[in-house]
Homo-oligomer: A and B are copies of this chain.
């Protein structure tokens, strides 16, 4: 199981090559890449920051849960931090197993869950300034403040 936060270019080929073993028949890979536009505005670049120790722990727990829940053999999850240019990979998730169905399901679940609860934030830089991406709402059980506004 490879779970990492990195600051350099993510090498998809090396990660998937390292993941595969003889009994695998399928690897499904999700490659999240920096788009040239955000909500209709032209993006110059992005900057990702994380609560690093916590993000690593959360990612490791998600990988464990994916293996247990979907019965896949192994998972690699690598997120890049710092400044990323258009077209670069921000997140790579690779899931290997003997059969393909579970690799698709686990990979999809991992990216969907990561985007809701792994503490990583994205700042978007435009020609006329920067904004923090709005983010996905936390699952209700993680959000501290009740909807009427008092903790």
Contacts and interface: CB of A to CB of B under 8 A. Distances in A.
Interface of A is mostly: mixed
Interface in A19-72: 20-37
How often does this chain occur in the complex, in copies? Answer: 2
Interface of A: 11-13, 16, 20-37, 86-87, 98, 100, 103-104, 107-108, 111
Nearest to A32: B26
Given A29-B28, A35-B24, A108 B98 contact: no
A54 to B, nearest CB: 24
Nearest to A111: B100
A20 B111 contact: no
Contacts of A103: 30
Given A22-B37, A35-B98, 11 more contacts: A11-B13, A16-B31, A20-B87, A22-B35, A22-B36, A23-B36, A25-B32, A25-B33, A25-B34, A27-B29, A104-B104
